[in-house]
Structure 1
Amino acid sequence: MCAAPCEDHCRRGKIDAPISIRALKRFVTDKYGVESLAPQTQQSLLDGETDAGNKWSWHLPMQTRIRKSIAKGKKVAIVGSGPAGISCAHDLALMGYAVTVFEASNLAGGMLRHGIPEYRLSRSLIDAEIDRTRALGVEIRFNSPLTSNFGLADLRRDGFEAIFIAVGTQRGRDLSIEGSNLDGVIRAIDYLLNINNGYRVALGKRVLVIGGGFVAFDAARTALRGGSDPESGLSHETVDAARLAVRAGADEVHIASLESFAEMPVLRTSQGHEEFEEAKKEGIVFHPQRGPRRFIGESGKVKAVEFIGVQRTYDDNGRFSPV
């Protein structure tokens, strides 16, 4: 899921090649993760059966001793079960804390489950990671959002000594231009959330995506895999919606971005370059350096978009300042 920007900016690359962070993470995951070929290895470390002599506190053989040294009964509440919430719960449980996760929906995983298409991230893998965390003693309370009737003060009264807020961001960006409320103008984040939660979303035969990031790619490729039966509409936001639509039966899919190809966010990483080349092979048409001025509608439905040319997207200090 990570585009590994650290590799693209690794200073070692100026000498020969960047450090292969993704490959190193894959090695550790294969050896100790939920997909491990020898899952008993991690458990033997946690049980203190193996000790390589490392006394660093996060060295797994030390965890049994650390947990015994921490006072029992200290309670921590975590709000949200996305990657940040589950990671925090996992690490705190290893340290001996009694952890309770409060999740607003009926499934754990946050945007891992609700925002990323299944073809990119297996739901069985998400479940395995969450089950591994729950096996450490973490409790997850589903359908338990923080509200005006149940908030931080209530968690304090329930005896939680620390609270970690990990609610994430599940709202797409709106374009504050004329016509953005027309039927058929859809935020890509909302589109993905609906598709991944089993709702039917219709797209049209001619689809325009406004933006230059990864979200539009995800949305475009999801429809191809049975996420919806496109009939009418127009999608807008980042770059994954386009590829999905072209595979789902759209006759034309276009991507318009403020940025030039050199500035486009999706092209800032090696993984993004791969996504971009795949999109081109699928027939998506790109329109760089185009800024939307207004959506044009007819009978309440979007029919066209008026654009203006963009000379630059960032100022001399690298701040977003399109001209």
Structure 2
Amino acid sequence: MKEIDMKLLKEESNRCFVCKNAKCKNHCPIDTPIPQIMELFREDKIDEAAEILFNNNPLSAICGIICPHEDQCLGNCIKRIKGEPIKFHELETIVSSEYLKNASFKQDKVLDDRIAIIGSGPAGIAIAFVLAKKGYKITIFEKNAEIGGVLRYGIPEFRLSREILDNMEKRLLDLNVKIKYNSLVGPVTTIDRLLEDSYSAVFIGTGVWNPKTLNIKGETLGHVHYAINYLKSPKSFRLGEKVVVVGAGNVAMDAARSAKHYGAKEVTVVYRKDFEDMTATKIEIEDAKKEGVEFDLFKAPVKIVEEGIVFIDTKKVENEDGSNKLINIENSEKLMEADSVIIAVSQSPKNNIVSNTKNLETNRHGLLLIDDIGHTTKTGVFASGDVVTGARTVVEAVANAKDVAKSIDEYCIELKNKKNCI
């Protein structure tokens, strides 16, 4: 561990109250044992702390960077009342990143059961680690050339170092996890075929990669792009000098910051409501502002033209019951000139798996239906993450994946017991 990092660990851990009923821990979706970790930092037991962090959350190195800390540990630190909160997420990133780089895992036992994991995003990686450490034979089917899913192809590299993902892949390989790259499950390799090929269970963690449209005229024009597509390979796009981003979530902020990072001189995020209504975290919005991204609020898109995009002004009005509604202001349409328009208004799942699998049901939004233990409507097939919930945070995906990993383990044990009874 670098000396400066050790100094930071010591300073922050000594500032911590190590609360018995810690609000930071209580507001962590994956229940990270923050007081215990801070105590270990004080005692210079860094390796022990790192192992606990990883076992609780295999993606702790990533969550330390991209979690909405203002709503979780940082925002609920008791020291925030009269001073600076403990920046636990920074300590978590330092320790967990070093652990991933230097650790060497091995399977203590090898079970007969083979598990197929479709997708190597947050949920898939978490499931792979948990089950591989238990001894299961894991095969990950990844449609791209590298693992990571949304972590690699949806979050800019200047925010999330690819070294962390590369080290995560090395640790998976330590545990004898097999990874089939450029392997799309659905059209050729089907789930039914996987179950026929001796896989005891299948996990679907394919995320949400279909961009939602604005449903306005002009979306197919050549200078219009969807954020989820742009973020996969931003260096290959030629956006021009003036870029407009429509949307207000973290994906919109990532797209705007990336456009600025890769050379656009003027980037404007346009949203139909106010800052307080944005789903992006405050820190993401502030970082975008610091990097020169402009914001134009209370405007709704009407149509896209060659010269840019036409917006209509909006405003909030109060209903009789005290609630607010958003209305358009008549005759306020105006062209906002742009070389490129990026649309960032959420995503939905692709249907290549569902359309090629019998008895696998979805809701009206195309999200997979599961029971309370992550089992889909098809026997032996489990799911969690964004493909079930829609776009959520990484830490939520990992927390849910841990629960589903337990369900898969129990399912395989029960399956084996039934076979032994025959």
Tell me the TM-score normalized by structure 2.
0.54
In the alignment, the residues of structure 2 paired with residue 135 and residue 90 of structure 1 have an alpha-carbon distance, to the nearest angstrom, of 10
Tell me the residue number matched to 2:290. Answer: 278
In the alignment, the residues of structure 2 paired with residue 203 and residue 140 of structure 1 have an alpha-carbon distance, to the nearest angstrom, of 34
SS of 1:89's equivalent?
helix
- Are 2:263 and 1:248 equivalent residues in the alignment? yes
Identical residues among aligned pairs (%): 31
Task: Output the amino acid matched with 1:144.
Answer: S
SS of 1:307's equivalent?
strand
Give 1:258 shift: 1.8
Tell me the residue number matched to 2:301. Answer: 292
- Are 2:315 and 1:310 equivalent residues in the alignment? yes
Tell me the residue number matched to 1:263. Answer: 277
Tell me the residue number matched to 2:72. Answer: 6
User: 1:185-226 CA deviation, whole Å, 9 max, x = no partner?
Assistant: 21122111232xx6x212133221112222233334434xxx
Give 1:303 shift: 3.2
Picking from 173, 186, 211, the partner of 1:134 is: 173
Tell me the residue number matched to 1:103. Answer: 142
User: 1:38-87 CA deviation, whole Å, 9 max, x = no partner?
Assistant: x3xx54xx68xxxxxxxxxxxxxxxx7xx55xx72111110011222122
SS of 2:72's equivalent?
helix
User: 1:107-126 CA deviation, whole Å, 9 max, x = no partner?
Assistant: 22212222222222222321
In the alignment, the residues of structure 1 paired with residue 137 and residue 277 of structure 2 have an alpha-carbon distance, to the nearest angstrom, of 46
Tell me the residue number matched to 2:119. Answer: 80
Task: Output the amino acid matched with 1:129.
Answer: M
Cα distance change of structure 1 residues 275 and 83 upon mapping to structure 2, 3 Å threshold: same
Task: Output the amino acid matched with 2:271.
Answer: S
In the alignment, the residues of structure 1 paired with residue 264 and residue 77 of structure 2 have an alpha-carbon distance, to the nearest angstrom, of 44
User: 1:200-255 CA deviation, whole Å, 9 max, x = no partner?
Assistant: 212133221112222233334434xxxxxxxxxxxxxxxxxxx34xx6143x3322
Give 1:130 shift: 0.6
Q: Note the aligned Cα RMSD (angstroms).
A: 3.3
In the alignment, the residues of structure 2 paired with residue 30 and residue 179 of structure 1 have an alpha-carbon distance, to the nearest angstrom, of 44
Give 1:101 shift: 0.7
Cα distance change of structure 1 residues 289 and 254 upon mapping to structure 2, 3 Å threshold: same
In the alignment, the residues of structure 2 paired with residue 273 and residue 12 of structure 1 have an alpha-carbon distance, to the nearest angstrom, of 24
Tell me the residue number matched to 1:203. Answer: 239
In the alignment, the residues of structure 2 paired with residue 153 and residue 317 of structure 1 have an alpha-carbon distance, to the nearest angstrom, of 53
Task: Output the amino acid matched with 1:293.
Answer: V
Q: How many residues align?
A: 260
In the alignment, the residues of structure 2 paired with residue 322 and residue 137 of structure 1 have an alpha-carbon distance, to the nearest angstrom, of 54
SS of 1:217's equivalent?
helix
Deviation beyond 4 Å, 4+ runs, structure 1: 11-21, 316-319
Counterpart contact for 1:293–1:305, Cα < 8 Å: yes
Give 1:310 shift: 3.1
Query: Residues 21-170 of structure 1: matches in 2 within 5 Å?
Result: 21-23=88-90, 25-26=92-93, 28-30=95-97, 33-35=99-101, 39=102, 42-43=103-104, 67-68=108-109, 72-170=111-209
User: 1:142-186 CA deviation, whole Å, 9 max, x = no partner?
Assistant: 122112332111111111111110111223221112222233121
Structure 2: state its 5+ residue gaps. Answer: 1-65, 328-422
**Greater relative CO, 1 or 2 (CA 8 Å, sep 6+):** 2
In the alignment, the residues of structure 1 paired with residue 315 and residue 246 of structure 2 have an alpha-carbon distance, to the nearest angstrom, of 14
In the alignment, the residues of structure 1 paired with residue 196 and residue 307 of structure 2 have an alpha-carbon distance, to the nearest angstrom, of 51
Counterpart contact for 2:256–2:267, Cα < 8 Å: no
In the alignment, the residues of structure 1 paired with residue 138 and residue 294 of structure 2 have an alpha-carbon distance, to the nearest angstrom, of 49
User: 1:265-319 CA deviation, whole Å, 9 max, x = no partner?
Assistant: 23x44x225314414xx2x332112111222x2xxx3433132313179xx9999
Counterpart contact for 2:273–2:314, Cα < 8 Å: no
Picking from 246, 252, 255, the partner of 1:219 is: 255
Task: Output the amino acid matched with 1:294.
Answer: K
Cα distance change of structure 1 residues 273 and 255 upon mapping to structure 2, 3 Å threshold: closer
Counterpart contact for 1:185–1:302, Cα < 8 Å: no
Tell me the residue number matched to 2:212. Answer: 173
Give 1:24 shift: 5.0
